[in-house]
Structure 1
Amino acid sequence: MPTKARNHNGYLLRWDGHGVLFDPGEGTQRQMTRAGVAANDVTWICVTHFHGDHCLGVPGVVQRIARDGVEHPVDAAFPASGHEYWRRLRHAAVFRDTGVIRERPVSGERMVLDTGDAPFTLVARRLSHPVEAYGYRLEEPGGRTMLPAELAARGVRGPLVRRLQEEGRVTAPDGRTVTLEECSVARPGQKAAFVMDTRLCDGVRELADGVDMLVIESTFLHEDAALATEYGHLTSAQAAAVAAEAGVRHLVLTHFSERYRVEDEHRFLDEASAVFGGEITLVHDLDRIPLPPRRLTGRERGQESVHG
């Protein structure tokens, strides 16, 4: 439930020109205005499940998209089993409708959504909650990072570098064949996962595996672990254990039960820090959290030191 200090859910992930809006709860349209987020910034709406705190903001967001004349497609992912709820939310009031919303119902244990030419893949994975719920994982394709010192050592420069990237091998000025593997290292794509209401399950672990940022619910403290299991939620310690096991770089905790007071916040951080040694953020309304920079490989770090 919203409190005097905290709005309903609503999380926007900015990703290379796209805006992925997760779980717009009641009041999201106004929070977007306060945060300087325009309807035109939204390209995806991803709903994890149809409990009110995760979807009651859909009508306002959709109607704002219509009113502001957004022209680009806005894809909407949601559990297919809740299509009737989506339909009610989508048409909850009288307004001049828009044709840019494209429905992407999710079903099965795991589903890869068609993201077209977006610079990321989007996977939905079923979770464990009293109603059908899904988590989402975004991942950019891997690539290769060129190593200037290795290129220079082989005399590969200018147009030859582009050819090497495109064809995988070139003939250097001295007649040697130079391969892409000799002059570059694999660069893993950045990854982010969004996990809301769920008990511990295989889906949580799959979504979190190796991500740079994990945004995950932390509804209860450890002392209320029995309630967490009963109602289909996680404790802060459980969320942190998932992050530690999965090799997450930045753990973002959210979705705290209203039973706890504002002055209890440090207890969530204390419990998580005892389990996870990486960076942890407890989110507050309108927080902005940067995705960690791409990891450097050992060879990249060596190149960095060589070139100062």
Structure 2
Amino acid sequence: MTVRELVVLGTASQAPTRTRNHNGYLLRWDGEGFLFDPGEGTQRQLLLAGVPSSAVTHLCISHFHGDHCLGVPGVVQRMSLDRVAHPVSAHFPASGRDHFGRLRAASVFHDVLDLREEPLTADGPVASGPSWTLEARRLDHLVETFGYRLVEPDGRRMLPEQLARAGVAGPDVGRLQREGSLDVGGRTVRLEEVSAHRPGQRVAFVMDTRLCDAVPALADGADLLVIESTFLEEDAALARAYGHLTARQAATVAAECGVRTLVLTHFSQRYPDPERYRDEAAAVFSGDLVVAADLDTVPVPRRAPT
């Protein structure tokens, strides 16, 4: 059985609090594990969430501010300690290659992990698998920063009534899906006749940034959008000065881009009441809204009916 869900490991911004660890987000996707922005303490948060280090197959860093990357040494060393056998790809801005190298080798340890560095130099696809493509786009922050989007290819949804009418059953259904057409009793049945278009799922991850063209490009049609909302609208000038979004800005993007589930995170410690984020976002976004808390699990919503 495949699992598609977000495990929230940390939700603070620059300074952690008593209830919020630095950033960290694990997207489980059909046996893959995409670990986004592991801030300080992520190794322990994985333990508290019940997630083994072997679940991580891709390490994705948006930028090299400490709250988004200081957990790299602990995570990498834990994966070596646990003898993780599969290769792990590391995606990060190429301008931070030296930072990543120092984080990776921050202390002495027996390094047996097959960690493959894949620096980002431009917008576009950066990795792919049978059921996904990982894309990156450059955001607008104080340092070079990339957002990420995981996209499932479009497919076909089989229609039982049409299959029965065409006389296609059992193993022949799989053959038809693979080959696109099938001879049934002297008549050619085409896949399009007995199926409907099924849009692939999309998950977007947008961290530290001002509003820019890349934000809606990443969020467009996302089933799940994980996005920073460091500030409230009353401090919009501060948000822009420091390269961040407000909860209202994040929610407006989600509403305009047809996002189904919106996950707000990366909260400033200046606001002790998280419900203020919810109230501000809910004023403009009517979909499923999550004000993330550490160790939350958020399922990728089931495909919308077509």
In which range does the TM-score fall when normalised by the shorter chain? over 0.9
1:268 match: secondary structure:
helix
Shift of 1:216: 0.1
* 1:292 match: secondary structure: coil
Higher relative contact order (CA 8 A, sep 6+): 2
Q: Per-residue deviation at 1:99?
A: 4.0
Following superposition of structure 1 onto structure 2, how do residues 107-118 of structure 1 map, counting pairs within 5 Å?
A: 107-108=121-122, 110-115=123-128, 117=129
Measure the CA separation in 1 of the matches of 2:45 and 2:93: 25
Question: Where is the strand percentage greater, Structure 1 or Structure 2?
Answer: 2
2: distance between equivalents of 1:70 and 1:170?
44
2:229 equivalent to 1:218: yes
**Of 179, 188, 196, which aligns to 2:190?**
179
- Give TM-score scaled by structure 1 length: 0.92
SS across alignment from 1:247: coil
CA distance in 1, matches of 2:77, 2:113: 11
Moved more, 154-163 or 204-213: 154-163
Q: Counterpart of 1:114 in 2: which secondary structure?
A: strand
Alpha-carbon shift at residue 85 of structure 1 (Å) = 0.6
Partner of 1:66: 80
Aligned to 2:64: 50
Of 162-171 and 37-46, deviating more is: 162-171
Larger radius of gyration: 1
TM-score of the two chains, using structure 2 as the length reference: 0.93
Letter in 2 for 1:172: V
Within 5 A, what are the aligned runs for 1:133-172? 133-172=145-184
Post-superposition Cα deviations, 1:2-34, rounded to whole Å, max 9, x if no partner, equal 011111001111000111100000000011111
CA distance in 1, matches of 2:284, 2:274: 17
Q: Which 5+ residue runs of structure 1 have no aligned equivalent?
A: 298-308
For 1:99 and 1:67, locate their aligned partners in 2 and report how far apart those are by CA, in whole Å.
9
Shift of 1:119: 2.7
The runs of 5 or more residues in structure 2 that have no matched partner are 1-14
2:95 maps to a residue whose letter is: S
Aligned residues: 292
- Residue number among 289, 296, 306 corresponding to 2:305 in the alignment: 296
Task: Report what 1:191 is aligned to.
Answer: 202
Q: Which residue of 2 is the match for residue 129 of structure 1? A: 141
Q: Does 1:236 align with 2:250?
A: no
- Distance of 1:41 and 1:289 partners within structure 2: 17
Distance in 2 (alpha carbons) for counterparts of 1:152 and 1:118: 29
Q: Could you say which residue in structure 1 is the equivalent of 2:218?
A: 207
